[in-house]
Each structure stands twice: as structure tokens, then as C-alpha cells.
Amino acid sequence: MQGDSRGDWRDKSREYAEMAEEMFGNGFYRDTCYFSYQAVNSFLRGALLRVLEINVQAHNLARLYEMLSEDLGFTPSPEALRCLEALSERHVKERRHRAQITELSEEEGRNCLECLKKVLGELEEATHEKIAS
């Protein structure tokens, strides 16, 4: 069993989601997308650690979601997978070109936040009874 991350993954995900909301409310849309990615990443990695007892190091959220859904026997919605691809693509682009990225528009920040809500809602519903915290 691996460290503290097994017990607090849902809390950490919620903290990141709250930060995404706060950043959006303050007009920091780049940070909104960053924390949206982190919220979903924390949930998925924590759930995978809990279910499969593996610590996955990957940036593609859609792939992590597919791994979890395969093991738990549920089907991710196409909309959630599109959102995950978009969040992952933005995150990787940001990491590679940090100095060249400018602030994002309000619409881009809103898209990240909507994806966060869509995906976490779907994940909470799909895993609620299948994974104990």
C-alpha cells in the first residue's frame, strides 16, 4: 500500500476544483485550466491507486479514465472523453511552452471549468459505490 495518497485523493481533487472555481471568479483563466486538470488528475490517479494499486504517471486524462472505467465496468461518455482530451492537450502544451503561453480568454477558462464539472460529476456517480474512500 502506498503512502498517504490512498486516503485523501477525493479531498485533494475537491481542493483543486475549488481552486479552479476561485481562479475563474478572479479572472485567472490560465490557472482555472491548470487547477481543472489537477482536480481530474488527482481523482483519477487516486482512484486507480485505490482500485488497481498502481501509481500511474501519465498526462493523458482520457487514458486514465478509460483504465478506471474498464476495471470498474462503466462507460465514459463521449463528452467527458472530449473534455479530458482537451484538458490534457492544454496541460501538455502549457508544460512544453510555458514561456510562450499568454493568459487565456474567459471562454477558454469557462470551457475548462465546465469540463471539470462534467467529468468529476460523471466520475463521482460512476465510482460512488464502487470505491470506498
* pLDDT over 50 at 118, yes or no: yes
C-alpha cell at 32: 482555472
Neighbour count for residue 124 (Cβ, 10 Å): 12
Provide the pLDDT for residue 101.
63
Provide the pLDDT for residue 120.
94
Q: Average pLDDT of 111-131? A: 89
Q: What is this structure's pTM? A: 0.85
pLDDT (tens digit per residue) in 39-48? 999 999 999 9
- Which residues have a Cβ under 8 Å from the Cβ of 50 and sit 6 or more positions away? 6, 9, 131, 132
Could you identify the residue written with the cell 501509481?
Answer: 55
CA 105 to chain centre: 20
Q: Delimit the domains of the chain by residue range.
A: 4-127
CATH topology of domain 4-127: Four Helix Bundle (Hemerythrin (Met), subunit A) (1.20.120)
Please report how many Cα atoms fall inside a 13 Å half-sphere around the Cα of residue 53, on the Cβ side. Answer: 2
Dist. CA 10–CA 74, nearest whole Å: 19
